[in-house]
């Protein structure tokens, strides 16, 4: 029995870089639902199942292409990428390591939202009392500059202590 | 110098990717396989007529596609960069909802039409959106806010209920759409408060915008025959049931913004027919002419 010289298929998939937030890998982001190898030796095909972070996100197309390219480069020429919508991706799926990497890159990580509330989301007329700390100086008092930041998943905030603006990955 | 070389290198790599970039919606890979999410291709739920389900997906998808296009008209026209980015994000969310719903509609219809065929090759009378979605705001920011306030409050209530739809694709879209629409509604609410309770001029214009939008609110709560049939099998929800919730939200916002609920007559139907039956205002024709022109001039273009 000759061992497979190719790198482990799951680690190849998990280490693909997210095009929108390049400090994160797909593993950190939590979008990989399954990695399977189907078919016999010489005919084997890698089937990767992923959940889009945002169904309208243009990065989803790039992620699929990058997955395929990385697997081909690692010696897996036959690749199929499946997309599932349900269960929907949530920022709760970002790993602890991913949250650390985001903060180190100056992007405030999202808070935990837990199970999706079943009732109606209450209307909030006041600014959101969010507990978002400054990723640079850890100051808890920060203000929102714009609810929609430079990428579909971020908002723009500013620290009241160091006055630096920073991106914040919105809960979803 | 190196930086420039790196930039060119990464551009070259982008071009090198094994799939051509489809200029429009659906992504066709080099091998001709369309990446369709699993839920889109699931069987029609028991008891539902495929034609009805296809029509319902078009209603929900067209609302998002058409309203999203209107919102996207603010790109390069918004008063501030932050608002431009916000509105572009909202339009992108709506487009994402539309793509999945139209893809589902095309799949269950079984006539070989994908999301692009439905978005770009149907004519006005084949669109199923409500009139509110197609109204032009004539690049008046208050109008854009008023339309978004009503549209997102209503669609949010619809999508929250559709999370329990027996159709797996609609249920999946509804979960993500609900999260997105909560942000859209929030955005519209905050601008309504700011403009309504702002200066005399901003108050006057915000009230005028509400007055212009309000005649189209009634249609949101009309239940079509097609919806009635799909409610029976758990696919659709009854839009008339969202009236109480949506009205409460709007009343709360208007009161806080010192605005008054317009006392205007609702736009009527044409012998009972409205947007859900393909009867539209002139505004939709202009919108479609612009939205569809590129795809119709260059069918199947890639880049």
Q: What is the pLDDT of residues A119-141, one digit of tens each?
A: 456 676 666 656 788 998 989 99
Domain identity same for A76 and A134: no
- Rg of chain B over Cα atoms, rounded to whole angstroms, equals 20
Which residue segment(s) compose the domain that A137 sits in? Answer: 130-172
Domain identity same for A22 and A77: yes
B232 pLDDT above the threshold of 50? yes
Q: How many residues does chain A have?
A: 172
Of A73-77, B25-29, B280-284, the poorest mean pLDDT is in B25-29
Residue of chain A whose Cα is closest to the Cα of B94: A56
A117 pLDDT above the threshold of 70? no
Residue of chain A whose Cα is closest to the Cα of B180: A172
| Of B168, B175, B186, Cβ closest to residue A88 | B175
Residue A124 domain flag? no
Provide CB contacts within 8 A for B289, sequence distance 6+.
none
Per-residue model confidence as pLDDT tens digits over B36-62:
899 999 999 999 999 999 999 999 999
Q: Which one is predicted more confidently, B188 or A156?
A: B188
Tell me the residue ranges of DSSP E strands in chain B.
none
Last residue of a domain, one of A28, A51, A83: A83
CB contact under 8 A, A85 and B35: no
Residue A106 domain flag? no
CB contact under 8 A, B86 and A147: yes
Q: Which residues of A touch B193 (CB under 8 A)?
A: 125
| Of A68, A116, A172, Cβ closest to residue B18 | A68
Last residue of a domain, one of A21, A56, A83: A83
Residue A115 domain flag? no
Domain identity same for A136 and A79: no
- Domains in chain B and their CATH numbers? 21-297 (1.20.1260.10)
pLDDT at A130: 67
pLDDT at A41: 81
Domain identity same for A78 and A135: no
Beta bridge partners of A62: none
Q: Which residues of A touch B245 (CB under 8 A)?
A: 120
Residue A100 domain flag? no
Residue with tokens 């090198």: B16
As for the ipTM of the complex, it is: 0.86
pLDDT at B34: 57
Counting the structural domains of chain A, the total is 2
Residue A3 domain flag? no
A145 touching B (Cβ < 8 Å): yes
Residue A113 domain flag? no
A115 touching B (Cβ < 8 Å): no
CB contact under 8 A, B187 and A61: no
Q: What are phi and psi of B116, to 5 degrees?
A: -65, -45
| Spatial contact of B67 and B254, defined as CB atoms under 8 Å apart | no
What number is the average pLDDT over the span B218-230? 98
pLDDT at B3: 40
pLDDT at A3: 74
CATH number at residue A30: 3.30.300.130
How far apart (Å, rounded) are the C-alpha atoms in residues B217 and B189? 17
Tokens of A132: 């978002």
Helix (H, G, I), strand (E, B) or coil at A165: strand
How far apart (Å, rounded) are the C-alpha atoms in residues B247 and B240? 11
pLDDT at A121: 61
Q: Which residues of B touch A86 (CB under 8 A)?
A: 39, 168, 171-172, 175
Per-residue model confidence as pLDDT tens digits over B153-190:
999 999 999 999 999 999 999 999 999 999 999 999 99
Per-residue model confidence as pLDDT tens digits over A34-77:
999 998 888 899 999 999 887 767 788 889 999 999 999 999 99
B1 pLDDT above the threshold of 80? no
Q: Buried b / exposed e across A16-29, counting CB within 10 Å, b at 16+?
A: bbbebbebbbbbbb
How far apart (Å, rounded) are the C-alpha atoms in residues B209 and B194? 14
Task: Name which of A150, A146, A35 is nearest B186 in CA terms.
Answer: A146
pLDDT at B30: 44
What number is the average pLDDT over the span B80-85? 90
Task: Name which of A73, A74, A81 is nearest A35 in CA terms.
Answer: A81
**Banded pLDDT at A104 (limits 50, 70, 90):** very high
pLDDT at B16: 45
Domain identity same for A79 and A134: no
Total beta-carbon pairs less than 8 A apart between chain A and chain B: 109
């Amino acid at each position: 029995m000759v061992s497979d010289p190719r790198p482990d298929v799951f680690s190849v998939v998990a280490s693909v870089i997210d095009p929108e937030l390049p400090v994160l890998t797909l593993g950190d982001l939590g979008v990989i639902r399954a990695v399977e190898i189907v078919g016999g030796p010489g005919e084997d095909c890698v089937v990767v199942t992923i959940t889009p972070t945002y169904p309208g996100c243009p990065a989803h197309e790039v992620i699929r292409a990058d997955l395929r390219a990385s697997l081909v480069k690692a010696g897996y020429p036959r690749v199929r990428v499946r997309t599932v919508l349900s269960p929907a991706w949530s920022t709760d799926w970002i790993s602890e390591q991913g949250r650390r990497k985001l903060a180190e890159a100056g992007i405030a990580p999202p808070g935990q939202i837990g199970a999706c509330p079943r009732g109606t989301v209450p209307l909030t007329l006041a600014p959101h009392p969010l507990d978002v700390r400054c990723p640079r100086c850890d100051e808890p008092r920060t203000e929102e500059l714009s609810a929609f930041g430079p990428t579909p998943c971020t908002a723009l905030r500013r620290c009241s202590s160091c006055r630096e603006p920073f991106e914040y990955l919105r809960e979803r | 110098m190196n930086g420039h070389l790196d930039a060119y290198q990464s551009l070259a790599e982008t071009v090198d990717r094994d799939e051509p970039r489809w200029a429009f919606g659906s992504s066709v890979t080099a091998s001709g396989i369309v990446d369709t999410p699993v839920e889109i291709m699931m069987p029609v739920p028991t008891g539902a007529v495929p034609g009805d389900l296809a029509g319902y997906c078009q209603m929900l998808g067209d609302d998002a596609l058409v309203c999203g296009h209107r919102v996207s008209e603010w790109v390069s026209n918004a008063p501030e960069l932050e608002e431009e980015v916000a509105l572009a994000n909202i339009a992108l969310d709506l487009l994402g909802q539309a793509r999945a719903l139209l893809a589902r509609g095309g799949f269950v219809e079984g006539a070989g039409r994908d999301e692009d065929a439905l978005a770009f090759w149907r004519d006005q009378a084949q669109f199923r959106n409500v009139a509110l979605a197609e109204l032009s705001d004539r690049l008046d920011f208050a109008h854009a806010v008023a339309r978004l306030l009503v549209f997102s409050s209503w669609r949010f209530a619809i999508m929250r209920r559709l999370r329990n739809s027996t159709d797996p694709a609609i249920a999946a879209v509804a979960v993500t759409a609900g999260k997105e629409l909560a942000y859209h509604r929030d955005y519209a609410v905050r601008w309504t408060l700011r403009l309504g309770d702002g200066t005399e001029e901003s108050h006057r214009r915000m009230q005028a915008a509400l007055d212009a939008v309000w005649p189209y609110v009634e249609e949101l709560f009309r239940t079509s025959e097609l919806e009635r049939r799909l409610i029976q099998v758990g696919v659709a929800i009854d839009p008339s049931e969202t009236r109480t919730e949506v009205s409460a939200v709007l009343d709360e916002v208007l009161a806080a913004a010192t605005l008054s609920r317009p006392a205007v007559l609702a736009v009527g139907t044409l012998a009972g027919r409205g947007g859900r039956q393909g009867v539209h205002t002139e505004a939709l024709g202009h919108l479609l002419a612009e939205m569809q022109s590129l795809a119709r001039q260059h069918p199947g273009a890639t880049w």
